[in-house]
Amino acid sequence: MSKTLLTRYVIIASVLVTLSLGSCKKNFDPTATDPTLASSTLTTSLTVNQDFVPNELIVKFKPGNSENAKNNALARIGGSVSEKILTKAMERAGDNEGIYLVHCSLNALDARDKIKGAEVEIAEPNYIYTHDAIVNDTYFTSSKLWGLDAAFTNGSCASTAWGNGHTGLASVTVGVIDEGIQFDHPDLAGQIWTNPYDPVDGIDNDGNGYIDDIHGWDFDGNNNTIYDGGKAGKSDQHGTHVAGTIGAKANNGIGVVGMNWYITIISAKFLGSRGGTTANAIKAVDYITDLKTRHIGMNIVATNNSWGGGGSSSLLAAAIERANTANILFIAAAGNGNSAGIGQNNDAVASYPSNYTNANVIAVAAIDYTGKLASFSNYGATTVDLGAPGVGIWSTVAYNSYASYNGTSMATPHVTGAAALWASTHTGATAADIKTAILGSVIPTSSLSGKTATGGRLNVSGF
């Protein structure tokens, strides 16, 4: 299986910069931050040798099977149950059986074939989702947020929406399914969810199965610590960057600003130092879905999914469908091409999770400041919906810093931010309503004609 690298991005370290809203100049040239112009680069990798856990399966048994029948199936692969996963969202959807994470003595692909039988409904590898990073060590200052400023022809025109008084609402919430987030970053403090239903007291007060999930949950580490980078900022950079594009604070005299000046962001961390797995992705999606259905007042409109890898999982697709039933959009990066970083056609070679056909999925390609489809960006006339800014994107990173990244990972939070911005002025909007608004307002763009379903790029000027 070929690996889909959804979050190959370029980090250019920076020092704190002061941003004056609307101060971006039309003659800004993002190629000045192009890592190919740097004198030296250091490549670091978060990938693993395989795109699934070698000796694990996720198994869903058919309803009504006895424990003896399940054990007989497991015996065929030398399998033992590592974990039973039965989320609150599954239970609410009428599934009281859940799924099983199974360690087996056979290779996952061999075990998948051998476990098939009358007892088993679904057996899948536990796919790994991950990203690579190319780090440039040149430091410089910048205040150029071309993806947001209407002064740039190919940006999202967020500043036009702001000028019309549409700056977001704290009551509108999105989930970031990714790495963790530095929740106390100066540009994010107050924008990250603090759980009012479960105070820190060692008790699961709201009964959702997670004790003291104060800002969300770390499904990779199975704890409530959504930020693990410390003051050195050694991890959770990507998730923090995504969060900043969606909703970094405005008018605080430092750093950057997000698509929304006011918003609430929940962290559902499932990507750790070695990537993330299908099993933990399912838990993360269901966690956000359960929060919305459990707490009627939570207006969760979307999740941002700047990740991918592995093959198609019907069990993950089922979790995305549970989110759809709860009117939560699943906004996903189209992918950053093949191992050489050259964009691929998702119509021909599927890239997951963006290729799932659930009605709530929006798949996002990346464009540069000239409006061109980024060379690394995947595309697809039927499988990718629109383009958004994804080259030279400045945002928050850990620890208390800022950096410029490239990738469909960076384009995706522009669209997630757009979903929240539209929802802030359309009370009671459904996922379908928001998706229709986003796709119906795109600006036709020649580089995206025949390459995306809409043939256009993100435009929130009328939001």
Q: What is the pLDDT of residues 44-75, one digit of tens each?
A: 223 333 489 999 999 999 999 999 999 999 99
Q: What is the pLDDT of residue 15?
A: 25
Q: What is the pLDDT of residues 226-245, one digit of tens each?
A: 999 999 999 999 999 999 99
- Which residue matches tokens 């999740």? 303
DSSP state of 282: H
Residue 142, CA distances (Å) to 15, 32, 156, 215, 403 in order: 9, 11, 19, 30, 10
DSSP state of 253: S
Q: What is the pLDDT of residue 131?
A: 64
- Please give the mean pLDDT across all residues of the chain: 87
Q: What is the pLDDT of residues 427-450, one digit of tens each?
A: 999 999 999 999 999 999 999 999
Q: Quote the pTM value.
A: 0.88
Q: Is 236 an active-site residue?
A: no
Q: Is 131 an active-site residue?
A: no
Residue 38, CA distances (Å) to 12, 13, 261, 419 in order: 10, 12, 33, 36
| Separation of alpha carbons 338 and 375, rounded Å | 11
Q: What is the pLDDT of residue 334?
A: 97
Q: What is the pLDDT of residues 308-357, one digit of tens each?
A: 988 999 999 999 999 999 999 999 999 999 888 899 999 999 999 999 99
Q: Which long-range contacts (CB under 8 A, 24 or more apart) does 443-447 make?
A: 445/154, 445/367, 445/371, 445/387, 446/371, 447/367, 447/371, 447/372, 447/373, 447/387
Please tell me whether residue 367 adopts helix, strand or coil conformation.
strand
Q: b/e per residue, 100-132, with b = 16+ CB within 10 A? A: bbbbbebebeebbebbeeebbebbbbbbbbbbb
Selected catalytic residue, list 178, 198, 220, 385: 178
**% of the chain exceeding 70 in pLDDT:** 86
Q: Say which amino acid occupies 451.
A: K
Domains of the chain and CATH, by start: 9-48+140-457 (3.40.50.200), 52-129 (3.30.70.80)
pLDDT means per 10 residues, the chain with 463 residues, are 37 28 31 30 30 96 95 96 98 97 96 95 94 31 72 90 96 98 97 97 97 98 97 96 96 92 98 95 98 96 95 97 98 92 95 97 97 97 98 95 95 98 97 98 98 98 95
Among 225, 273, 277, CA closest to 85: 277
Q: What is the pLDDT of residue 237?
A: 96
Q: What is the pLDDT of residue 17?
A: 27
Selected catalytic residue, list 313, 409, 424, 441: 409
Judge contact between 204 and 198, C-beta under 8 A: yes
Q: Is 409 an active-site residue?
A: yes
| Separation of alpha carbons 243 and 191, rounded Å | 9
Selected catalytic residue, list 131, 238, 241, 414: 238
Q: Which residues pair with 103 in a beta bridge?
A: 56, 80
Q: What is the pLDDT of residue 339?
A: 81
